[in-house]
Structure 1
Amino acid sequence: MTTLRERKTYRKAVLRSLYEAVERNRPEVSGATLRDEIRLPDEDLFAACTYLADEGLITVEWTSHRTPATVSLTHEGIRFMEEEEEADAPPEG
């Protein structure tokens, strides 16, 4: 069973990967590509995507095997990642 810290790390990795894809003009990512990029087992990817979709940060098209076929950030997910990026940026001046 994964710990809370691991689950949060997985969710951040999913969001980061999708945000980077948006920046490269790839608004939609296949579930297989996402899994390979962040190296998550299917059950952890399922849990992370389910949580983030429930929060309204991503949309997921599911396969019949409970794995994501395609995943993309919602407008709210992009705003969330932009806020994270601004918070992590060094102060200007």
Structure 2
Amino acid sequence: MATLRERKTYRAQVLRVLYEAVEGNRLLGITGAQLRSDLRIPEQDLAAACTYLAGEGLITVDWDPGNTPAMVTLTHEGIRHMEAEEEEEEGAV
């Protein structure tokens, strides 16, 4: 079981990889297999991160049997969240 810090890190990583992969276009998505490959995190932790982020309205997830993300996409709110984060990072430099 992942610690709270690990769970928060996984969530942030999922959002970052997804945002970079789809270049802010909410019509594009990434497969769960690609996310697992890019992030190298345990499958159950990826599923938990996706469930959490979907609950927050930041992503949508199409699920395969066995609670495995098949396709993950950013929502409009997810894009806004990532753009705000990007603006904060640019302002900090």
TM-score (norm 1): 0.92
**Equivalent position of 2:19 in the other structure:** 19
**Equivalent position of 1:8 in the other structure:** 8
Aligned counterparts, 1:11-90, within 5 A: 11-23=11-23, 27-90=28-91
RMSD: 1.8
TM-score (norm 2): 0.92
**Which ranges in structure 2 are unaligned for 5 or more consecutive residues?**
none
Question: What is the distance in 2 between the residues matched to 1:24 and 1:74?
Answer: 10
Runs of 4+ in structure 1 deviating by more than 3 angstroms, as ranges, are none
Question: What is the distance in 1 between the residues matched to 2:43 and 2:17?
Answer: 16
Structure of higher CA gyration radius: 1
Seen in structure 2, the aligned counterparts of structure 1 residues 90 and 39 have a Cα distance that, compared at 3 Å, is: same
